[in-house]
Amino acid sequence: MDRRKFLGVGLAAFVAIVVPGTDLRAVDFRTTMPQAWEVEKTVDGIKALYGSGALKESPKLSFKAPKLAENGGSIPITIKSSLDLESVALFQDANPRCLSCVFSVPVGAIIDYDFRIKMRQTAVVTIVGKERGTGTLYTASKEIDVSIGGCGG
């Protein structure tokens, strides 16, 4: 892990410039994992996407979200992680289908993603990250209150 980190910090920029070909991965999860997008519950969604339900909590993977969202149509979320992750996915139970988005992280990238999601009711939001190489799944989850009366889209 230490060596991996050292390499990641020191050489990532260098590698990205010298061998751009290695980063050329285009994974469209919509076409490769069509069934994962139709699942309703978070637990099943994780299994459908990653093929396993064994999750580990880690302080190195975290996300920021408001405790009380006034507008269910636009909830800002920031995912941060210092782990070497292959992909990060966001699941929630509020909507008819649980999977909101899946990031595939290029080698040596900084995991600091900021985006907005829609939620029609109060629910738990779960972030799942898959470590590169080992395939270990890390998770973080939080309940977000969506106030009724906001224009929930």
Q: Is 123 in the site for another protein (CB under 8 A)?
A: no
Residue type, 67: K
- How many angstroms separate the CA atoms of 34 and 17, rounded? 33
Per rule CB under 8 A, is residue 142 in the interface with another protein? no
Nearer to another protein, 56 or 116 (CB): 116
Cross-strand bridge partners of residue 64: 78
Query: Pick from 111, 99, 98, 102: which is nearest to 62 by CA?
Result: 111
Binding mask 21-50 for another protein (x = CB under 8 A): x-xxxxxxxx------x-------------
Which of 59-67, 116-124, 130-138, 142-150 is the region at the interface with another protein (rule: CB under 8 A)? 116-124
C-alpha torsion sign, points 104, 116, 57, 81? positive
Rule CB under 8 A: is residue 144 a binding residue for another protein? no
Residues 53-82, interacting with another protein (CB under 8 A): 73-75
Give the tokens for residue 77: 């979320």
Residue 102 within binding range of another protein, rule CB under 8 A? yes
Give the pairing type, strands 68-69 and 123-131.
unpaired
By three-state DSSP, how is residue 128 classified? strand
**Shortest distance, CB of residue 16 to another protein, whole angstroms?**
6
Residues that bind another protein (CB under 8 A): 12-13, 16-17, 20-21, 23-30, 37, 73-75, 92, 95-97, 99-106, 108-110, 112-119, 153
